[in-house]
Structure 1
Amino acid sequence: HTMVFYSNYDGSGESYFEDFVTKARWGQTGVWSNGKGFPETENLLFKGAKDATRFKRWIRHHQQVSRFWFARFKDLSTRDIRRNAVICEGLAKARTDSEYRALIELMTSRVRTDDTLETREIQSLLLRGMGNLKAAHVVAVNFPTEGSTGNAALANWLADLSGASSSPTHARATFDGRINKEETQAINIAISPSGLRRLRLHELHHEHKGLTSDSFASLPGAFRSGMTSAGRKQILGDTNHNDWSWGSDGEPDAVLIIYAEDTAKLNPIVADEIAALQAAGFSIVTEVETKPIKEKPMREPFGFVDGVSQPVIRGQAGSIAAHNRMHVVEPGEFVLGYRDNTEYFPTSPMVNAHAPGATQLPSIPDQTASDYPAFGTDPHTAPRDLGKNGSFLVIRQLEQDTAGFDAHLKMQAETARAEYDLDYIDEDWLAAKIMGRWKNGASIVRSPRKDIPSPSMSMSVDDNDFQFGTEDPQGLKCPFGAHVRRANPRDSQDPVSPNRQIALSNRHRLLRRARAYEDKQTGKEGLLFMCLNANLERQFEFVQQTWLNGTRFHGLQDEYDSISGNAVQTTNRLSIPTAAGPIQVKGLQSFVTVKGGGYFFMPSRSALRFFSEFVASQAG
């Protein structure tokens, strides 16, 4: 019995056969496994064509030479021909925003992948830390009251921010993240649960996979509840804080985060924007002016370098550097609409396809990106993805008692030095044990003694590629309860399987964007903590509740994080392992108070335009 396989291809035969091996070896094995001389197979589909050398030799041995050539389009490859055919189909059948974008990518020959970020849609704060813009100011606002006038003002503001307005009266938000040296400012916008309710998102209903829901309900439960709800306060350990300064009714409707080169350039921008907001009926809830960054790296009020260890989004700058390897995560860990570390798309808010402005929003991502997308298969009535290219922003205004911290640290160091008769215990040593890094940012895993020279003491780039479990399994260098070991344990909790544990830890990473601040009226200072994540519960709340506030973290007993843990207990302690036995620092007090903040949704450019059109439709 004989089987004949006919095939037309362009390019080299070697390239063609390699595609069989890498992309279709199971099918090739299943079809040809009974052929005489075919490489050994297993269970009909396995091995066989995977043995590339023998498989290709077998093909060559049975190949029949073709005596003619045929090329209808001699200057085009089969890939070009197929792409052109798909473009023609797209021109005839594309009906949704996602299909139009896929069509444009085909026309520009751009390679389509799931993890290629649409940077022109993403607010700049998600893509970079704004380190070159040294001054920043946060303005928290409430929207104008409902009514035709208030809705019109709100719609115009959203249109200005998105860049949709031809004659803006407000500043535009900054997208793309690539700020040139000539650009001296950046503005980002995020909206709270109350703000989205004010936009009447709850009045939009849609059906998805047999379930009917309103658009507000499609947002995560933790976000809908808000940071100031009783349940979230319990999770975050905020139950003892009664001096909230971000409004009496919970979170403001939105926050504007304004950056500039320096204070001289920042102040007039802020003044103009506040004046325009107030004239349009917005009310200012609070403002936080951050300290200008005088030198890099930035230090928080207690004196520690801040922002040393950050996750790196795959495909972005630095993601291929060797020292960042353990910190690389998939885009979907922070940006909605892309696959996360589990290879699934994070849940995202949806809106009805027939809502005013919804045509600008992409479809719900439920299939792998393809070089040859199928057009006309996406129902134009299917709900649209409001979240794609957006993220969830957490803000916490953390007031720090620097003088109290320094005095308490000195007293605790003197007590421990006398109790354990160890001359090397001083304030700097104890501060490093509490934080997990020296104040200059060097890790105590790589530089356990400040008087011993180490490359990491000068902040070399490889000072962030250490592993707690592999290099310090007993906590003799960095205590298990140190802040940085709690906030990102890396492989600490399973040093036997470090790669698996790092993968687990990376499911809880936060993209931090903090700035130090000082209240000029009261002189009080602190850290304006900001972080971005795609899943509030799995990322920010998990880190805060389980790792920082967890009194049994890593087998410890009745200890929580001394830097940013809760203050439910009036005093804390820190166990510092040593070769001679643990040093117990008892009676540690908290010198950080949560003064305000909230959960916010940071929308994409298209989402802002949708909000603008949707609110404008309510203005009558």
Structure 2
Amino acid sequence: MGAGSVTASTVKERLSWRLKPPHDQQTQGIVVSGFSGLPAGKALFLHCDGPDADAGQGPWLRTLMRVAPIAASDGKPEKRAAAIAFTWTGLQKAGLSPEALATFAAPFREGMYQEDRLRRLGDKIKNEWQEPVIDGGPLWSGNVPVSDGDTPDPESARVTTRTTVHALLLLYGEAVADVQAWSDEIEQALAPHSVKIVHHLALDLQFDQDGIGREHFGFADGVSQPIPFGDPNVASEDTVVLSDGKPAPRDPWHGVPLGEILLGHTNAHAEKAPGPIVRDDERARAAKLPLQGAPEGFLNLGLNGSYMVVRELRQYVARFWQSLDDNAARIRAHDPSATHVTADWLAERIVGRNIDGHLLCPRGLLAADEYRQPQNGFGFAKLDPHGQGCPLGSHVRRANPRDGLAQNLASAPALLDAVNNHRILRRGRKYGPTPTDSRIDDGAERGLLFICLNADIARQFEFIQQTWLLNKNFATLYDETDPLMGPKGRFTIPEQPLRRIVEVQTFIQLAGGEYFFLPSLPALNYLSGLQD
């Protein structure tokens, strides 16, 4: 569902990808690392009270960077790390010029709650919030204003939330108490600048005895991720290496060009992923913004940055398991021979993997890989084309269809390439207490702070949400959406002699969200200089 690499190998270490200099020193550390060695975390949602908040008090962003240095991608943090991203209104508050703001991608400029984007994401349709959104609508956003080009119907005007977020600061540490003390220190340092923490979430990434990180429903999370690559034969594209220092080859199943994740690099369409630019002036040169990819008279503000999608997703654990208990009991009552149908059996088919992350196959489970971890190098076209093991509409097949949408084996490689053009790099973590009894509603708020990085919000994140997760006719299905992320409805499980139909409820709801810009470290230096 959300986090980065959250399974820890108990055998030999799997090689991971890294950025080569100078990109590793210019890119925020969260891009390359999920900071799995720092299990405690906190998300601080910041609001700047006004454009004059720094008058006579010094720049708040520079103060923040002193008390919370932003980690680069050039090494592992020892005890703590931080990352920061900004909403469109946050960049406006930071003093970025209208000319520069206009060079950002349209989804970021419009924000997540622009009318058309709400519809694509399945959040609000025909002026009504949908079931996968909390009652009354989301609690926070960047509150991006309506642009001059917007002419929405008066009855469906731009959504505004009660809380406006200008920046998201992510803190990671070894212990909860240490992260909380760090958070308190940051809050005190920002107070004189009229910058407030208007929302916060304690984040968690704990591994069990098998080295598996689990989300609140109990399933292994973060099993599958795209793997960026460069081109060692072209100097300007020799950007990615493995942790052993060797060039990173293109992974046959999950390889994506670096430009799918980072702006300014070659993407899946053999183009440089476009990003924002600023005027070439003394301030921009002092921040060491590069010329690379910018037109004459401008410097590249986007290189080695990314667009970050953030969605606070509440999980209703008791509702999930109680609903599946009821469904299993109904099926067994109707078919006494279905003794194997339990809540666990149904949950695994909703997800598409068993609780430890191993893929469901027609004859059981896909064997673990050489690291004794869930196998991830596979395609559906040959392994399970009809969804007899892993149902066609399961969460893992919708979130990443691989080659499963191919009509035959001959077209499978082309379909895999097409699917990989829409991959996202996930960096989220769960929040809230772990339930002591998954069948009892304790009233606590818990869920996932979904975070993903992509260079093209519309082609990557929004495409996945609209075309795969919420598509009612996905993969020959009819009138079904994602059984885990979607609204209540039916879910088909192929099984002899024909199929079983499960009525799923709304198990996850959006509580807040926005599109953010994750700047490179030079871009961050430039933004901090705007407040002088």
* TM-score, structure 1 normalization: 0.70
Quick check: which has more Rg, 1 or 2?
A: 1
Q: Give the counterpart of 1:348 among 260, 272, 275.
A: 275
SS at match of 1:332: helix
CA distance in 2, matches of 1:548, 1:226: 20
Q: Cα–Cα, structure 1 residues 416 and 158, in superposed 2: closer, same or farther, change >3 Å? A: farther
Partner of residue 234, structure 1: 119
Structure 1 residues 581 and 354, CA, compared in 2 at 3 Å: closer, same or farther? same
Query: Of the two structures, which has the highest relative contact order with CA contacts closer than 8 Å and spacing of 6 or more?
Result: 2
Please state how far the C-alpha of 1:578 moved relative to its aligned partner.
2.6
Q: What stretches of structure 2 of length at least 5 have no aligned partner?
A: 1-18, 142-160, 230-239, 435-441
Picking from 405, 411, 416, the partner of 1:502 is: 416
Match of 1:339 in 2: 266
The residue number in structure 2 matching 1:178 is 75
Q: Partners in 2 of 1:472 and 1:292 — Cα distance?
A: 32
Aligned partner of 1:246 in structure 2 is 140
Asked if structure 1 preserves the Cα contact closer than 8 Å seen for 2:43 and 2:168, the reply is: yes
Residue 178 of structure 2 aligns with an amino acid whose one-letter code is K
Question: What are the superposed Cα offsets for residues 356-406 of structure 1, whole Å, 9 maximum, x if unpaired?
Answer: 33552112427xxxxxxxxxxxx8x52111110100111111111101110
Using the alignment, how far apart are the partners of 1:254 and 1:312 within structure 2?
27
- Aligned Cα root-mean-square deviation (Å): 2.6
* Corresponding position: 1:428 with 2:344: yes
2:520 match = 604
Tell me the equivalent position of 1:5: none
Contact 1:442–1:459 (8 Å) recurs in 2: no
Q: What is the CA–CA distance in structure 2 between the aligned matches of 1:394 and 1:198, rounded to whole Å?
A: 20
The aligned residue for residue 118 of structure 1 is 23
Q: Residue deviations 1:111-153, cap 9 Å, x none?
A: xxx9876110000000111100000100001124112x52665
User: Which AA in structure 2 matches 1:384?
Assistant: L
Q: Does the aligned pair in 1 maintain the 2:30–2:73 contact within 8 Å?
A: no
Q: Which runs of 4+ in 1 moved over 4 A?
A: 114-117, 151-154, 318-324, 519-522
TM-score (norm 2): 0.81
C-alpha distance in structure 2 between counterparts of 1:425 and 1:457, whole Å:
28
CA distance in 1, matches of 2:42, 2:393: 33
Deviation at 1:423, TM superposition (A): 2.1
Q: Is 1:517 paired with 2:431?
A: yes
Task: State whether residues 259 and 265 of structure 2, in contact with CA within 8 Å, keep that contact through their aligned partners in structure 1.
Answer: yes
Mapped partners of 2:484, 2:386: distance in 1 = 22
Whichever residue aligns with residue 347 of structure 2, its letter is A
SS in 1 for 2:467: helix
Fraction of identical pairs, as percent: 31
1:563-610 Cα offsets, whole Å, 9 max, x none, are 123x3xxx311112234212222x311111111121110001110111
| Residue 529 of structure 1 pairs with residue 456 of structure 2 | no
Describe the shift of the 1:320–1:561 C-alpha distance in structure 2 as closer, same or farther (beyond 3 A): farther
Instruction: Count the aligned residue pairs.
Output: 461
Task: Tell me what 2:51 maps to.
Answer: 146
Helix, strand or coil for the counterpart of 1:362?
Answer: coil
Report if the CA contact (8 A) 1:417-1:423 is conserved: yes
Is 1:593 aligned with 2:506? no
Whose strand fraction is larger, Structure 1's or Structure 2's?
2
Contact 1:512–1:532 (CA<8 Å) still a contact in 2? yes
Contact 2:63–2:190 (8 Å) recurs in 1: no
Deviation, structure 1 residue 268: 0.9
Mark the CA change 1:279 to 1:291 in structure 2 (over 3 Å): closer, same or farther. same
Give the Å deviation of 1:544.
Answer: 0.7
Displacement, 1:310? 0.8
Report the Cα distance in structure 2 between the residues aligned to 1:419 and 1:392, rounded to whole angstroms: 49
Instruction: Give the CA deviation at 1:284.
Output: 1.7
Q: Choose which of 578, 581, 584 in structure 1 pairs with 2:495.
A: 578
C-alpha separation between the residues in 2 aligned to 1:608 and 1:321?
28
Could you tell me how far apart the structure 2 residues matched to 1:251 and 1:320 are?
43
**8 Å CA contact 1:305, 1:439 repeated in 2:** yes
Aligned to 2:324: 409
Residue of structure 1 in register with 2:194 after alignment:
281
SS at match of 1:255: strand
